[in-house]
A and B are shown apart, each in its own frame.
Chain A
Amino acid sequence: MDFQLTEDQRALRKGVRELLAGRFGRDELRALADAPEEPRLDRQLWRELGEAGFFALRLPESEGGVGLGLPEAVLAFEEAGRALLPGPLVATHLAAGEIEGAATGATVVTAVDSSGLLPWLAASDVVRGDFAGAVPVRSVDPLTPLHRTPAAPPDPDPVAVLLTAAEQLGSAARSCETAVAYARERTQFGQPIGAFQAVKHLCAQLLVRTELARAAVYAAAVTAVPAEIRAAALLADEAAVRGARDCLQVHGGMGFTWEADVHLHLKRAWLRAGLGPSAGAVEEEWAAAL
């Protein structure tokens, strides 16, 4: 057993992180969040992601892909979650090799998800799933336009669940970093608030939840066992949602503003948590396995 990232995997993660830091940093994130109109998808960035192999990562080299596996895809999606990159990333990734142009990022593919919601309808070229009668929804996440579809929603696809969990993991890790940075810098009562145990413990739990989810998500990427994927998603959802809320708490009044990024992570985490099987269903599944 060697349950550690390889050199190549580290390099991949670093590459995606740098690409996103350069092309979708805080300024780009804020420009989208602060614009009064519905967010637009940056098609140029989408192509650059395609060129970098983000969508074709798991496609065999013989089909023009990168020929890597789920663990690498998970690392890439973790970075996307950390940067809060918007767009139907998972649906387009899953469509690579199946829908012309998805692998290169030339075609943007979205899909009706297992909760019956359809993200990014207007910005997408191809829609998977039955979306007849879709009606727009005033989305809680300012960075994800949504429609609701009346047809019975499809069952969650395990790979989609895993990649979404990877995004949750990245978001949780970012919330942890943001909370810790703020706890170091903000002073009250003549000391950094991170010196107070109450704040320290919030930060510590942020890390604990994130690292537990990380181990579960990475392992599920290696085994690809659906039940393990679902369990990992449960923990990743918790790490992301709870993490964003605790990060908000650490920020005090500042955390309640539009201006701070905390709420963007929380809202997206809520959205992603709604995609996979419910926590209750996963708990039942694992209870039945006892």
Chain B
Amino acid sequence: MDLTCTEEEEEFRAGLRSWLADALPQLPPRPDPTDWPGRRAYDLGWQRRLYDAGYAGLHWPVDAGGRGATPTQHLIYLEETERAGAPYVGANFVGLLHAGPTIAAEGTPEQRARWLPPILRGDEVWCQGFSEPDAGSDLASLRTRAVRDGDHYIVSGSKIWTSHAEVADWCELLVRTSPVTEDVPKHRGISWLAMPMDAPGVTVRPLRTLAGSTEFAEMFLDEVRVPVGNRVGDENDGWRVTMVTLSFERGTAFVGEVVACRRTLAALAAEARRCGRWDDPVLRRRLGRLNVEFHALWRLTQWNVSEAQRTGGVPGTGGSVFKLRYSHARQELYDTAAEVLGAGALDLDQEWVLDRLSSLSYTIAAGTSQIQQNIVAERILGLPKGR
């Protein structure tokens, strides 16, 4: 166990810091949150700058186009980009943080060569077509069908809650390639496909969230032809691949946001001092408690990232421990922000108010807290499975 940085890592930090100081002022103005094409261009543009500077896919394996950086370097990268106020991954979330890593871990050399470089270069956006209207927590009961027709699958069905579907080029899609029968349980007949979003038969209908924007969408698939070569993993072995994707999604995808939360917390404390709310001991202690919490979550992150490194890159079920605590702490953070803001918490133009609305999804998206608790109880603690 060692938490110090080597000289080399400190050098990496210094180099990154000076690059950021130079690169950030050159960025175009941030697009309006409702301007999806603008957001896509902005997020991809940032990714391209990272790529050109050699910071894209820092912790991805070298044979996947990554830089094979140490976990410490990866975390330094997250700390420094956040501290400098660099853009969030945004539309690149799925590609960089779970579809890409899944392809890196499970894809063939051809698949890696086809899909990973455009993700790293900021050329292509991915979305996640897992959930269906009747398959949310019970993801394995998904019904979108893929029927083999020569070297293609013909895919029909519908997906829901697909974030960034409006601007995505590719979708990591779960389909049923074998119907459920008495002998084939629902987990068995699933396959993981990369579906081009511009294929005929794909219809995207944006859905409005409670924050008023269209962050996610419904997706209707009507006899969409997807080459068999776009299947990652074996036919009917998609559930195992899915577990890899979910372990990235739950285990490491939110890591950068812990740093963001710590920055928000510091800003909140400054605001409380400024507006006089700091004199309220209950609020002050609440902020102190959150400071303890996020500090420890960062330590847990360091632990998990080191562990993933040790076990060959795929994070373990410990991701559920992290996600449970992180999503709760982040909601608590914005509730505390509302305390600091007082009446300002009812004004959508005040900082943190929209974030508070968005935070309501954290205990639902990427697997609800109830499901995470079942995973912790059943898969980590080995308690008997409930019905």
Interface residues of A (CB under 8 A from B): 115-117, 137-142, 146, 148, 187-191, 193, 195-199, 245, 248-249, 252-253, 255-260, 262-263, 266, 270-271, 274, 280
* Residue among A195, A197, A252, A280 with most chain B CB within 10 A: A252
Q: Are A253 and B343 within 8 A (Cβ)?
A: no
**Are A189 and B138 in touch, CB under 8 angstroms?**
yes
Q: Which of B160, B212, B347 contacts A258 (CB 8 A)?
A: B212
Given contacts A116-B343, A140-B347, A253-B161, contact A198 B364 (CB under 8 A): no
Q: Which of B367-387 contact A (CB under 8 A)?
A: 368-370, 373-374, 386-387
A260 to B160, CA, bound (A): 15
- Check if B370 sits within 8 Å of A248, measured CB to CB: no
Q: Which residues of A contact B131 (CB under 8 A)?
A: 253
Contact A140 B209 (CB under 8 A): no
| Chain A contacts for B62, CB-based, 8 A | none
B207 within 8 A of A: yes
Q: With an 8 A cutoff between CB atoms, is B275 at the interface? A: no
| Distance (whole angstroms) from the CB of A193 to the closest CB of chain B | 8
Asked if residues B136 and A249 are in contact (CB atoms below 8 Å), the reply is no
| Total count of chain B residues near the partner, CB < 8 A | 39
Q: Are B210 and A249 in contact (CB under 8 A)?
A: no
A148 B282 Cβ-Cβ under 8 A: no
Q: What's the dominant secondary structure at chain A's contact region?
A: mixed
Q: Whole-angstrom distance between the alpha carbons of A138 and B211 in the complex?
A: 13
**A199-B370, A253-B364 as given contacts; A117 in contact with B346, CB under 8 Å:** yes
Which B residues are CB-close (under 8 A) to A256? 209-210, 360-361, 364-365
Q: Tell me if B21 is interfacial: C-beta within 8 Å of chain A.
A: no
Q: What is the bound-complex CA distance between A255 and B342, given in angstroms?
A: 25
Say yes or no: A139-B360 contact (C-beta < 8 A), given A116-B343, A189-B387, A253-B160: no
What are 7 A-B contacts with C-beta separation under 8 Å?
A140-B348, A148-B343, A188-B136, A252-B364, A270-B338, A274-B342, A274-B345
Query: B32 in the interface, Cβ–Cβ < 8 Å?
Result: no
The distance in angstroms between the C-alpha atoms of A115 and B342, with both chains bound, is 8
Interface assignment of B2: CB less than 8 Å from any CB of chain A: no
**B183 CB within 8 Å of chain A:** no
A236 CB → nearest B CB, Å = 18
- Per-residue interface assignment for chain B, residues 274 to 310, with 1 indicating a CB less than 8 Å from any chain A CB and 0 otherwise: 0000001011000000000000000000000000000
Which residues of B are found within 8 Å of A266, using beta-carbon distances? 210, 360
Given A140-B353, A188-B137, A191-B387, A248 and B347 contact (CB-CB distance below 8 Å): no
A35 to B343, CA, bound (A): 25
CA distance A274 to B340 in the complex (A): 12
- Asked if B363 CB lies within 8 Å of chain A CBs, one says yes
Asked if B347 and A138 sit within 8 Å, CB to CB, the answer is yes
Complex CA distance for A196 and B368, rounded to whole angstroms? 13
- CB closest chain-B residue, reference A202: B370
A148 near B347: Cβ-Cβ < 8 Å: yes
Q: Are B208 and A141 in contact (CB under 8 A)?
A: no
Asked whether B182 is an interface residue with its Cβ less than 8 Å from the other chain, the reply is no
Q: Which of chain B's residues has its CB closest to A283's CB?
A: B282
Q: Provide the bound-state CA to CA distance between A191 and B136, in Å.
A: 13
A160 to chain B, nearest CB (A): 16
The interface residues of chain A lying within 8 Å CB-to-CB of B361 are 256
The A-contacting residues of B in range 178-214, CB under 8 angstroms, are 207-210, 212
Q: How far is the CA of A195 from the CA of B387 in the complex (A)?
A: 9
**B110 in the interface, Cβ–Cβ < 8 Å?**
no
CA distance A71 to B363 in the complex (A): 38
- Does B160 lie within 8 Å of A138, measured CB to CB? no
Q: In the assembled complex, which residues on chain B have CB atoms less than 8 Å from the CB atom of A193?
A: 137
Instruction: Please name all residues of chain B whose beta carbon is closer than 8 Å to the beta carbon of A258 when the two chains form the complex.
Output: 208-210, 212
Tell me the smallest distance from the CB of A199 to a CB of chain B, in Å. 7
Cβ–Cβ contact B345 & A270, under 8 A: yes
In the complex, what residue of chain B is closest to A244 when comparing beta carbons?
A: B360
Q: How many Å lie between the Cα of A138 and that of B344 in the bound state?
A: 10
Given A196-B386, A256-B361, output 4 extra A-B contacts at Cβ < 8 Å: A115-B342, A189-B141, A249-B363, A255-B360
CA distance A117 to B347 in the complex (A): 10
A248 to B209, CA, bound (A): 12
Q: A148-B343, A252-B136, A270-B338 are in contact. Are A263 and B349 (CB under 8 A)?
A: no
Q: Are B210 and A117 neighbours in the complex by a CB distance under 8 Å?
A: no
Complex CA–CA separation, A270 to B141 (angstroms): 37
* Cβ-defined contact, B360 with A248, below 8 A: yes
Contact A140 B345 (CB under 8 A): yes
Closest residue of chain A to B140 (Cβ to Cβ) is A189
Return B373 CB to nearest CB of chain A, in Å: 7
Tell me, in angstroms, the Cα distance from A117 to B338 when the chains sit together. Answer: 15
Contacts of A274 in B (CB 8 A): 342-343, 345-346
Contact, CB under 8 Å: B208 / A140: no
* Contact, CB under 8 Å: A257 / B346: no
Task: Contact check, A139 vs B373: say whether CB atoms are below 8 A apart.
Answer: no
